[in-house]
Amino acid sequence: MNHLKTFSTILILGLTLLLSFTSAAQNTQIKGQVVEENSKQPLAFATVAILDSSTNKALSGSITDDNGKFNLDTEASDFYVQVSYMGFVSKTIKQFEVKKNKVNLGIVLLAEDAEQLNEVVVQAEVSRNEFKLDKRVFNVGKDISNTGASALEVLSNVPSVSVNIEGAISLRGSQGVQVLINGKPSILTEDSGSLGSITSDMIEKIEVITNPSAKYEAEGTSGIINIIIKKEERKGVNGSVSLNTGVPDNHSVGVSLNKRSEKFNLFTQIGLGRRSRPQDNENINEDLINNTTLYNIGEEYRNEKFYTITLGTDYYLNDDNVFTLSGNYAFEDEDQPSDNNFQLFDVNNNLDSEWSRTEVTEAANPKWQYELQYKRDFKDHEDHDLLISATGRSFSKDQNSLFVDETISGSDRDATQKTRTDFGENTFTFKLDYTKPFSDKWSMETGAQYVLNDVSNDFEVQNLINGDFETDFGLTNVFEFNQNVLGVYATAAFQSGNWGVKPGLRMEYTEVSTLLVNTDEANDQDYTNLFPSIHTSYKISDAVSLQAGYSNRIYRPRLWDLNPFFNIRNNFNIRQGNPDLQPEFTDSYEITSIFDIGKTSLNFGLFHRYTNEVIERVSTSVDNVIVTRPENIGTNSTVGIEFNTKYTPVRWLSFNVDFNYNRFSRVGSFESTVFDFKGNQWNYKILAKLKLPADIDFEATSNYNSGYQTIQSDVSSISFLDLGLRKKILKGKGVVNMSVRDVFASRYSETVTIQDDFEAYNRSQRGRFITFGFSYGFGKGDAMEYSGGRRH
C-alpha cells in the first residue's frame, strides 16, 4: 500500500498548490441566468462576454451551463455585458448595480430572431465533448456514424469507452462500469443486449463520469455511464420521426412527440424495428494431458424484433412544484439459430470424429419500467430544491432451445438436448435528493436511496434418451437472487472566485442472498461500507483550468456473475457464474488539466486505480471441455494517462482525438497458482468531420485498441473504421444519412490462452454494417439528428 499512500500525498500536495493559486486581486463577480423569452426555458451554451466600455474590446467570456447559468470575474472597473446565442437577438447590458464587488444580473431573457431561425439548424455548433467538474458530456445527435445504431453501438464511439463484439462495456480499460439511463438504473442496462431496443435517435447525450461524487451510488469501480433520453419541453406540439434501413437486416422506425401547455407537458418516444447480427466463431481446444485437439468453426445469429415506447407527463402544480409520471415498455422477440462444425484429432493428429451441432432458440423478453417523481423548487434560491422519486422495473424471459448433434464421421456423436429458461426480475428504487445553497459560496446536497432487487431463474436441461426427453438433474435448478442496498449521502460545495471544492461521503448497507432451490444451497452476505469523495477545480485563466478528484467505488457481482448454470450453446466452451463471488473495491484518483487555446481545446489527465478482490475469469479444461467462471484474485494497480483534443484548423474541417494509456500491475493467486504480472494497454479514437458543399457533412472515425494480457490469456489488438455522410434537406427540417460501420470488416475478438494442461484459441467476428436513414422534425422541433442546441 506504500504506492497508494505516495499517490495520496501527491494528490493532497496538488490540492494545496491549487489553493495557493487563488488571486488576491479584487475581482468583480458577475452572475445570472439566460432564459428563452417565449418558453421560459434555460438556454445552455449561450455566450456571455465582458467588454471594455471605452474600447469595446472583449475582456473575458464564458458559456452558460445546462441550466443557463453563468458566473465569471473581471478586474476591470468600467465594463458592460453582452449575451448572445445563435438564432436569438443579442442583449447588451450596461445598467447594473455593483455591491461588494458582485453583480447579479438575475434572469436575462433572449428573444428568438425570426430572420436567423432557418439558419440555426445548419450553422449552430455545440461542442461534441463538454468537460464539467466531475464528468464529460458526449452529444450523440451530431455523430453521423450513429445513424440507425443501437445504444450499445453508440457507446463504442464515446471517448474512453470501449465495447467488444460480445457487448461488454469498458471504461478506461476496465469493465467495472455502471450504466444508467436518465441518472437511474434501468432494466434496459441489466443486460447489454437489451440496449439494442434504444436507438440513437432516442438519445440526446451520454455522460461519462470517471470519478463520481458521493451523490451517485457507489456501484461501478471504473465509473458511471449515464444515457440521457430526449424529452422535449417547449410549448405547443413538437415532434420528429426517423426511418432507418440497412444490411445485414437492420430496419427501425422512431417517433418523438410532445405537447406542452401551461400545466402539462405530455411526451412520448416510440421505437420499433428488427435487426440481424451474424457472428462467425472459431475455437481450438488443445488437451496437453491427452494430446488431443478439438477444432470448432461455426456461425450464429441473433435476430431480433423489438418494440419500445416511453410515455409520460409533467404536471406543473405551480411554478414551484412539478409531478412527473412516466412509463417505459420494451419487448424483444429473439430468434438465435447457430450451426457449428466440430473435428476431434487424436494424439497422432489423425481425425478421430467429426460432427455438427445446430441450435434453434426462441425467446420473448418483455420489460417494464415506471416512475413517479416530485420536484419542489424553493423560492429563496433558484438552486434550492427537493426531488423525490419511486421507480419500478420488471424483466422476464421465456426461452426455449433445441440442440441437435449429428455424426459426420468417426465415433458416434449423435445427441439431442432441450433447454428451458423462465426468468423473472423485479427491482424497486426509492430516492430522495435535497440541495440547499447557504450563500453564493456555500451549498450542500444530501439524500438517500433504497434499491430492492428480486430475481428468479428457473433453468432446465433435457436429454433425448430412447425417444423420450429426460431431465438432466445435474444441470437443472432454480436460482434465486435477492439484493437490497440502502445508501445515504451528503456533499458540501465551496466556490470562491476561480477556485472550488466539493467533498462528500456516502454510506451503503448491502444485503445479498442466493439460493439453489432444488439442492438447497444458500449463500447470504451483508456488509456496510463508507465511500468518500472529493473534487476540486481551479481556473488559472480563461484558457487554463485544473481539476482533481478522488472517490472510493464498489463493483457488486451481478446476477450472471453469480448464476452457476452452464451455458451449453457450445458444450465444449462453457461459461458459468460463481455464487461465492465477493465484491471489488477501488480507490480512484484523477488530476486533469483543460486548455482552451484559439481553435484548439485540450484535456490531459492522469489517473490511478487500486482495486482489491479483483474479479477475473478463470478457465479450466478436462477432455477438451473448457469451463470459465469468475473468481476473486488479488489486487490490481493501474496508472494511466488520458488525452482529448478538438482542433478546427478551418471552418469546414475539425478533428476530435481521444487517447488512453494505462500500465497495470496484477498480484494474486488461485488454487496454488500465482498470477503476478505487469502489462499495459492503450487505445485511440480519431474523428474527422468535413463540411462539403450543398449542406453535406462527412465523418470518418478511426479506432484502435491495443492487445493486452489477462491472468491466463493474451487478447489481440484490433483497428476498425466507421464512415458517415449526412445531407440536410427541406430547409434543415429533414436529414438523410448513410453510415458504414467497420468498413474493412476488421473488428473482431481474438484470445490465446496457454496453460500447463491446455491451450485455447478463440476468435469471433461480426463484419460490416451499412445503414441508410431519414429524419424529419415538425412543429417547433428539428430533425432528430440535431436539436440546434436548445434545451431538450
For 688, the enclosing helix (H) or strand (E) is strand 677-692
* pLDDT higher than 50, residue 459: yes
Percentage of residues in the chain with pLDDT exceeding 70?
Answer: 81
Segment 608-639, tens digit of pLDDT: 999 999 999 999 999 899 999 999 999 999 99
Contact 178, 766 (CB under 8 A): no
* Mean pLDDT confidence for 95-110: 86
Quick one: how far is CA 319 from the chain centroid?
33
* pLDDT higher than 60, residue 21: no
> Which amino acid does the sequence have at 372?
L
Q: Cα torsion at 558, 564, 567, 571 (round to 10°)? A: 140
> What is the rounded CA–CA span in Å between residue 219 and residue 552?
10
> DSSP labels for 700-748?
EEEEEE--EE-SSEEEPPEEEEEEEEEEEEGGGTEEEEEEEESTTS--E
Segment 496-506, tens digit of pLDDT: 878 889 999 99
* pLDDT higher than 50, residue 554: yes
* pLDDT higher than 70, residue 607: yes
pLDDT band at 120 (very low <50, low <70, confident <90, very high): very low
> Which amino acid does the sequence have at 584?
E
Strand partners, 546: 538, 593
Q: Which of 56-65, 99-108, 279-288, 446-455 has the lowest mean pLDDT?
A: 56-65
User: Which is nearest to 446 in space by CA: 503, 490, 488?
Assistant: 490
- Which range, 64-68, 187-191, 526-530, is most confident? 526-530
DSSP state of 603: E
User: CA angle at residue 108 from 105 to 112, to 5 degrees?
Assistant: 165
User: Which is nearest to 780 in space by CA: 68, 124, 235?
Assistant: 235
> DSSP labels for 78-97?
SEEEEEE-TTB--EEE----
- Which range, 127-136, 391-400, 778-787, is most confident? 391-400
pLDDT band at 25 (very low <50, low <70, confident <90, very high): very low
- The predicted pLDDT at position 602 comes to 82
According to the CATH classification, is domain 2-115 in 2.60.40.10?
Answer: yes
- The predicted pLDDT at position 69 comes to 86
Contact 705, 717 (CB under 8 A): yes
pLDDT band at 154 (very low <50, low <70, confident <90, very high): low
Mean pLDDT for the chain?
A: 81
Cβ-based neighbours of 160, under 8 Å, separated by 6 or more: 136, 171, 172, 208, 210, 642, 658, 660
User: Which is nearest to 705 in space by CA: 741, 664, 748, 745?
Assistant: 748
Q: What is the number of helices (H) and of strands (E) in the chain? A: 4, 47
Q: Which residues belong to CATH 2.60.40.10 in the chain?
A: 2-115
For 219, the enclosing helix (H) or strand (E) is none
> What is the rounded CA–CA span in Å between residue 656 and residue 488?
39
* Mean pLDDT confidence for 765-769: 89
User: CA angle at residue 12 from 6 to 14, to 5 degrees?
Assistant: 105
Architecture of domain 236-779: Beta Barrel (2.40)
User: Which is nearest to 190 in space by CA: 574, 560, 631?
Assistant: 560
Q: Which residues belong to CATH 2.40.170.20 in the chain?
A: 236-779
User: CA angle at residue 373 from 559 to 195, to 5 degrees?
Assistant: 40
* Mean pLDDT confidence for 122-133: 43
